Amino acid sequence: MTAAAPAKSLTVAVIGNPNTGKSTLFSALTGLHARIGNYPGVTVEKKVGCVDHDGVCLNLVDLPGTYSLSPRSLDEMVSVDVLLGRQLDVGQIDVVLCIVDASNLERNLYVVSQVLDIGLPTVLVLNMWDVALSRDIRIDVAVLSQRLGIPVLTCEAHKRTNIAAIKSALVTAAQQPTRTPQRLFPPEFYREIEALREQTTVGKNVLPDFLLERLLLDAGGYVEQWQTKQHSQALPAQLTAARDRLKAAGCRIPAVEAKVRYAWARQLLTGVAQQPTARPTTSSDKLDRFFTHKVWGLVVFCLVMFTIFQAIYSGAEPLMLMLEQGQNALGDAIGSLMPIGPFRSLIVDGIVAGVGGVLAFVPQIALLFLFISLLEDCGYMARAAFLMDKLMVKVGLSGKSFVPLMSSFACAIPGIMATRVIENRRDRFVTILVAPLMSCSARLPVYVLLIGAFIPDVWYGGWLPLQGLTLFTMQALGAIVAIPVAWILKMTFFKGETPPFVMELPSYKWPSPRIVLSRVYDRVKSFIVRAGTLIFATNVLVWATAYYPGDHAEERRLQAEVASLREQHGAVIKQYEETEEARRGEVPPEVAAISAAEDAANRESQRLLEISYLGRTGRALEPVFLPLGWDWRIGVGVIASFPAREVIVATLGTIYSLGRDVDAESQGLQSALRSATWPDGRPIYTIPVALSVMVFFALCAQCASTLMVIRRETAHWGWAAFTFVYMTVLAYAGAWGTYHVGLWFMS
Amino acid sequence: MPKTTLNKLNRGQTGIIRDVLGDDGVAIRLLEMGLTDGEPITLVGAAPLGDPLEFALRGYRLSLRISEAERVEIDSPS
């Protein structure tokens, strides 16, 4: 870009260490209208925001928080590619906005020095100026700017100070002539760079200087892997030779880079920044002593985790209930306006229920991200990972996987979305793939129904309740199975060097409500937009397989009859329900007539389900279910609950002619299950069968929404398919084993 | 001066960093975080289960696993 022509639109890359208030500054600059997506082929979040300043349109690209620009994976390469203008969906970068923590300048300058090597116009923002002042850190901004040769501004992003000045500085910086990149390394280093340039140049394809530096400095890093693939197997040997020559010359790789850059930072700050020689004990340090204390630290941790868990598990319930009631009311309202028929069924049971199926997850997602954003913003999240790391290392993961996995006990969807805090791709993927094994709240109704119906209500030794024990075992089963699964995944698909747990423990601070709320909003929005449509489509599809191809005319007639009878005898029913007559068994003829009509309608619904595509599939697959001790009815229930496991109760209600409006504690359904028999009169449900069904539900991926979120978070269908297959196989094997061990016990 | 490794520090003790062993991702990360030759580093404490450890250096707090701290050579504190 030439300096003379004022640009109408500028692309600005925003980069900085984690915990510097980068997102706060980003939203202070752009407002809340950021577009969130993914870079193609990777799982890195792409956040772009626009703002107009003096007629210039600033396009800000928020890069992931990073301590350095030395990529070791494709994901980490994204930031480098964006800065070098090699990321095609972003285009050329006009200005770089570097944000640093003014109270921790030296370490923050490391990545700044790498950015300056790239040579783009750069603006440096010293954020958390107030914190620096409160710690008696004094920085001479004018001299710093002069030494660096770039504009330097102070900022308190959470108070939105100096925002307009930063925008002006970005516009001005873009019009400056290109800077000559600094040369911090000794001459031998640059000689090796020149040699590498010749070796890697193909035709007109010359690697930028910065990538040549990375190639030489990052042994085994991403640039080396990529260039080795591009060129020849000879490259690694050439690199090793070059590194050996440099080592002989006294600049050993990799240590030389840190040495050179930190020396540069210290020299830069000499006489510019004054800070107390002994770091005073801040209130953050005192808090930390408490929060990481052997006893109190764990107590506080358990309390925090319990609060989060309770909030998603039961706090979301009233909201979900409201959504459900709204959904029912809407369904009824539409139902009363339209004639009974396939179109009404599509709208009410397909579309409204489908939208409801998407919205049902919103309260849990919103609540979990409210807590996670609060904990992240105040600095506790890093401590949670610190406290739990040793435990998680035993399964091959790190402390950062704890909160996502714990959240998955309430619901795997927000849990999987929460894995974005794990920077390491392999750890993140293993966490995502085992998260659906955690016993989520949707499995509970199945356990309650089957335990209530089949597990005797006895207390072993007078203190151990068998029903409670069974429930606990079912809840714990997934987590126990997840341990070997995670271990195997780490040994096979996600093999590689153990990722470092080198993690900054940031100072505690008050969370900013604006940032917390905007993060919750972003997550909910991205769930609805990206996963919601697919979840909705799946729900409609399942509705169709259960509805077609039967002729629903008779069912409609019977339902209309029930409705008209209810209307006709409304007063009698009300009186009957209010009096004690029900207990004495004196049923008035009107009520008996309604029950008979309802039974007829339910039987017709049962027949239609049996002949539907879903029912036919269930019957056709009976040989598959027989080894588990199941009949085709259980099979249909299980198949119908693949999109969402909580559907099983309503499906069983239809299968046993009780209508869809049954719940897990319904006595009618429990006794219907107890009296169900095989054609030869043997009962279908025995304790081994009930246990085998429960184990199947504990281990199976019966949740289309989870699979959609896995696809979204891993940016690939393959992992969703893999999760589905491995969990179904596991569930089948588990159910088979349980049934046979159960039979052996009973005999 | 006799050398030891970072994980051997006692709580509250400060050592001077001499070297980071190896050239893999962990070593590079340690160097990037400022664990360079000549820098003082203090052990602040350990997680309740004994691992990881919390250190103070260059005015900030850093958490390292024992296995990572073993990679950092320091002068034995007197």
Q: How far is A21 from chain B (nearest CA, A)?
A: 16
Q: How far is B73 from chain A (nearest CA, A)?
A: 13
Residue A6 scores a pLDDT above 60: no
Q: Which of A119, A65, A108, A116 shows the shortest CA–CA distance to A273?
A: A108
Partner-chain residue, chosen from B26, B60, B63, that has the shortest CB–CB distance to A107: B60
Q: What are the tens digits of pLDDT across the range A62-120? A: 998 899 999 988 888 999 999 999 888 888 999 999 999 998 899 999 999 999 999 89
Does the beta-carbon distance from A219 to B30 stay under 8 Å? no
The nearest alpha carbon in chain B to A387 belongs to B47
Cα separation, A695 vs A58, whole angstroms: 55
Flag whether residue B59 sits within 8 Å of chain A, measured between CB atoms. Answer: yes
Q: Which residue has the tokens 């246990």?
A: A691
Cβ neighbours of A386 in B, within 8 Å: 47, 52, 54, 63
pLDDT value of residue A3: 45
User: What's the rounded Cα separation, in Å, for the pair A742 and A629?
Assistant: 11
What lies within 8 Å, CB to CB, of B42 at 6+ separation is B9, B12, B13, B14, B55, B56, B57
* Helices within A394-529 (DSSP H only): 402-408, 412-417, 425-434, 444-454, 466-491, 513-526
Query: Across the interface, do A502 and B68 touch by the CB < 8 Å criterion?
Result: yes
Helical H segments across A492-552, by residue range: 513-526, 533-547
Nearest CB among A220, A295, A390 relative to B49 is that of A390
Cβ distance A393 to B65 less than 8 Å, yes or no, reads: yes
On whether any CB of chain A is under 8 Å from the CB of B37, the answer is: yes
pLDDT tens-place string over residues A14-26: 999 988 888 889 9
Q: Closest Cα of chain A to B17: distance in Å? A: 12
Q: Which residues of B touch A294 (CB under 8 A)?
A: 48
Domain A9-175 has CATH 3.40.50.300: yes
Q: Does A264 touch chain B (CB under 8 A)?
A: no
Cis amide linkage into residue A64, ω under 30° from 0: no
DSSP H or E run through B16: strand B14-20
The number of residues in chain B equals 78
**Do A429 and A399 contact (CB within 8 A), yes or no?**
no
The predicted pLDDT at position A521 comes to 87
A501 to chain B, minimum CA–CA distance in Å? 6
A547 to chain B nearest CA, in Å?
Answer: 56
Round to whole Å and give the CA distance between A442 and A645: 7
- Convert the pLDDT of each residue in A497-514 to its tens digit: 778 888 888 888 888 888
Predicted pLDDT at A607? 80
- Asked if A501 lies within 8 A of B34 by C-beta distance, the reply is no
Picking from A113, A216, A295, A502 by the largest number of B CB atoms within 10 A of its own CB, the best residue to mutate is A502
Question: In which element (H, E) is residue A212 found?
Answer: helix A209-217
Q: Is 70 exceeded by the pLDDT of residue A583?
A: no
Per the CB < 8 Å rule, is A292 touching B26? no
Q: How far is B77 from chain A (nearest CA, A)?
A: 18
Q: Which residue has the higher pLDDT, A533 or A626?
A: A626
**Nearest residue in A to B42, CA atom:** A279
- Alpha-carbon distance A613 to A542, whole Å? 10
Q: Among A73, A93, A75, A76, which Cα is nearest to A84's? A: A93
Chain B contact for A236 (CB, 8 A cutoff): no
- A107/B contact by beta carbon, under 8 A: yes
Q: pLDDT digit string (tens) for A204-259?
A: 788 888 999 999 998 888 999 888 888 777 888 888 999 999 999 888 888 899 99
**CB-based contact B36 A258, cutoff 8 Å:** yes
Contact state of A389 with B24 under an 8 Å Cβ cutoff: no
**Rounded Cα distance, A695 and A697, in Å:** 5
Three-class SS state of A325 = helix
A397 three-state secondary structure = coil
Q: How many CA atoms lie within 13 A of A471 on its CB side?
A: 18
B50 reaches A (C-beta below 8 A) = yes
A611 min Cα distance to partner chain B (Å): 59
Please measure the distance between the N-terminal and C-terminal CA atoms of chain A and give it in whole angstroms.
84
Residue A619 has pLDDT above 50, yes or no: yes
Cβ of B59 and A289 within 8 Å? Answer: no
Tell me: pLDDT of A741 over 80.
yes
B32 touches chain A (CB under 8 A): yes
Cα B59 to Cα A281: distance, rounded to the nearest angstrom = 11
Domain count of the fold of chain B: 1
* Selected residue of B61, B68, B72 to mutate for chain A interface (largest A Cβ count, 10 A): B61
Using a CB–CB cutoff of 8 Å, tell me whether A570 touches chain B.
no
> Between chains, do A72 and B25 touch, taking CB under 8 Å as contact?
yes
Chain mean pLDDT for chain A: 84
Residues of chain B with Cβ-Cβ distance to A102 below 8 Å are none
* CB < 8 Å to B61, chain A: 288, 504-507
Question: What's A103's DSSP letter?
Answer: G
Sign of CA dihedral A343, A347, A351, A354: negative
- The pLDDT assigned to A585 comes to 64
Eight-state DSSP code of residue A580: T
Mean pLDDT lowest among A83-87, A275-279, A433-437, A471-475: A275-279
Please count the other Cβ atoms lying within 10 Å of the Cβ belonging to residue A277: 5
Which DSSP letter does residue A346 get?
I
Distance, in Å, from the CA atom of A447 to the CA atom of A454, rounded to the nearest integer, reads 10
pLDDT tens figures, A137-162 = 899 999 999 999 999 999 998 888 88
Question: For residue A150, what are the contacts with CB-CB under 8 A and spacing of at least 6?
Answer: A116, A121, A122, A123, A124, A173, A179
A259, A275, A506: residue with CB nearest B36: A259
Amino acid at site A62: D
3-state secondary structure at position A432: helix
Q: Indicate yes or no: pTM above 0.90.
A: no
Task: With beta carbons under 8 A apart, name residues in chain B contacting A262.
Answer: 34, 36, 39
Give pLDDT, residue A4. Answer: 45
Assess A387–B contact: CB distance below 8 Å, yes or no.
yes
- Buried b or exposed e, range A538-564, using 16+ CB within 10 angstroms: bbbebbbbbbeebebeebbebbebbee
Instruction: Name every chain A residue with its beta carbon within 8 A of the beta carbon of B67.
Output: 498
Closest B-chain CA to A220:
B24
Amino acid type, A310: Q
* Pairwise CA distance, residues A378 & A126, whole Å: 20
Residue A23 sits at the vertex; the CA angle it makes with A17 and A27, to the nearest 5 degrees, is 150
Task: Give the SS3 label for residue A355.
Answer: helix
Name the E strands within A176-332: 273-274
For residue A705, pLDDT over 50 is answered with yes
Q: Provide the ipTM.
A: 0.94
Three-class SS of residue A19? coil
What type of residue is A424?
N
Contact yes or no for A500 and B51 at CB 8 A: no
Q: List average pLDDT for each run of 10 residues in chain B, which is 78 residues long.
A: 88 92 88 92 91 91 92 86
Chain B contact for A259 (CB, 8 A cutoff): yes
Q: Amino acid identity, residue A555?
A: E
Q: Are the C-beta atoms of B69 and B15 separated by less than 8 Å?
A: no
A337 vs A61, which has greater pLDDT?
A: A61
- Asked if B46 and B23 touch (Cβ cutoff 8 Å), the reply is no
Helix H or strand E segment including B18: strand B14-20
- Cα A699–Cα A704–Cα A706 angle in degrees, nearest 5: 70
Closest CB to B49 among A279, A391, A498: A391
Concatenating the DSSP letter of every residue in A642-700 gives: SSBTTHHHHHHHHHTTS-S---TT-HHHHHHHHH-B-TTS-BS--HHHHHHHHHHHHHS
Q: How many secondary structure helices (H) and strands (E) does chain B include? A: 2, 6
For A351, A360, A361, A622, B22, the CA distances from A319, given in Å and listed in that order, are 20, 9, 10, 39, 53
A385-432 pLDDT per residue, tens: 899 898 888 888 888 888 888 888 878 888 898 888 788 888 899 999
For residue A253, give the 3-state DSSP assignment: coil
Counting one residue from chain A and one from chain B, the pairs whose CB atoms sit within 8 A come to: 128
Where does chain B have alpha helices with state H? Answer: 25-32, 66-69
What distance in Å separates residue A242's CA from the closest CA in chain B?
Answer: 15
Q: Are strands A9-16 and A95-101 parallel, antiparallel or unpaired?
A: parallel
Bridge partner residues of A122 (DSSP): A96
**What range does the domain containing B68 cover?**
3-75
Tell me: the pLDDT tens digits for A150-198?
999 999 988 888 899 999 999 999 888 777 787 889 888 999 999 888 8
